[in-house]
Amino acid sequence: MAPSKLALPASGLVLLLSLLLSVSLASAQTSLCDKYTKALLTDVTPENEYLLLTLLVNRAFGGNFTATAAGINVPGILAPGVVNGEAVNLLPYFNGQLKTTNEDNQPASVNFLDGGGVDALKQNLPAFDRTSNQYFLLTHLYQFFGVLLGCSQQSSTRSGAFPAYRGDVSMYQVHKFMALDNAQVMYFNGMVGTAFASFGGAPEDVAAVVAALNGLFGVACGDFYPIAPYAPPALQSVCTVEGCPLASPPRCDLYADFGAAVNDEGTAPLALAATSPTSCDASGSTPNLCYNAAGSAAICCASQCPATPGDVPTCGLGGVKSAAPCTPSSGFPNQCFNSFGSESICCAGPCPSSPDAVARCA
């Protein structure tokens, strides 16, 4: 399967999904889940398939905690990153900082790192308990990716060492108050691919998984699709704002909020701060307090704040305070000093023509 065939219109998506979903059925083909369970854990058992998905999802979230077999570094979904020049920081959607979780169709602040956070992930656990939000999020992700990767040993019922998918059937409903943009969704999906590659996933297998995720969740106005073979068809678009690639054919009529999110700032799904910092440690690694456009929420950033803040507070691409020489490959290659030459910042763009007391980017 050539990765170039995976730039998916809807019909291609259905094909690819049915390919990924059906490989566990009796056929000559081995599913990705079975293939990599055998490669990494030898015996294709429910326990080992569940462990494979645990390793994959935990690393995708928390990054690699030790050097990876493939020598690939995995920063993790919880770490800030840059996609196509846009700064991405998904942590506030997981730690309860933003009021963006759909609870009974109302936006709510939910801490999804309440089961021990990364410390639990490090121990190959979904969480340290079985009742936390973190436990439900992570186990549902193991189950979903088990379905996507075609694990032959995953149960089609709620019992067994590797139970069936039992999360929400509509990813649109789950994510709609987050108003996620293309870069954010690409970052999440790309990190799953990077984690897969770090375990030795072949490039065409990694590309197939990322393409399936982008095709199903990374488009706006997608049609009804079942998230698992035994789930009812439901809306799955997670990318829901302007700039998201449109599904082909787009079914924006199915998304009541889509026009609102695109056309009418006032009624766009709002990401309100539940707990927002009011100051940042000036000598710490994230000294810059960056507000959203409404000034109602803020975040502490390593980089300078964006010139035009959005609904959700984000860090800008303006630069990263650094005493060391800036690295050309970092995306912040230009070292800009203050007027005293006593502090500097690494900038994506040029330095100011007349520097002042504080190191800044132009």
Ligand X SMILES: *[C@@H]1O[C@H](CO)[C@@H](O)[C@H](O)[C@H]1NC(C)=O
Binding site for ligand X (CB under 6 A): 64-68, 71-73
For 232, other C-beta atoms within 10 Å of its C-beta total 10
- Specify which residues 321 forms β-bridges with: 345
**Contact indicator for 256, 191 with CB cutoff of 8 Å:** no
Amino acid identity for residue 220 in this structure = A
Least distance between ligand X and beta carbon 323 (Å) = 22
Least distance between ligand X and beta carbon 76 (Å) = 10
Which residues neighbour 187 within 8 Å (Cβ) at sequence distance 6 or greater? 77, 81, 83, 88, 90
Least distance between ligand X and beta carbon 63 (Å) = 7
- Specify which residues 225 forms β-bridges with: 234
**Residue 78 vs 336, nearer CB to ligand X:** 78
State the Rg of the chain over Cα.
Answer: 21
Least distance between ligand X and beta carbon 315 (Å) = 22
**Residue 46 vs 76, nearer CB to ligand X:** 76
Least distance between ligand X and beta carbon 73 (Å) = 4
Least distance between ligand X and beta carbon 194 (Å) = 11
**Contact indicator for 288, 303 with CB cutoff of 8 Å:** yes
* Max CA pair span of the chain: 71
Report d(CA 31, CA 41) in Å as an integer: 15
Helix (H, G, I), strand (E, B) or coil at 64: coil
Half-sphere exposure of 221 (CA within 13 A, CB side): 19
Report how far Cα 62 is from the mean position of its chain's Cα atoms: 11
**Residue 65 vs 291, nearer CB to ligand X:** 65
**Residue 72 vs 125, nearer CB to ligand X:** 72
Q: Which residue bears the tokens 């609102």?
A: 260
**Residue 71 vs 85, nearer CB to ligand X:** 71
**Residue 12 vs 75, nearer CB to ligand X:** 75
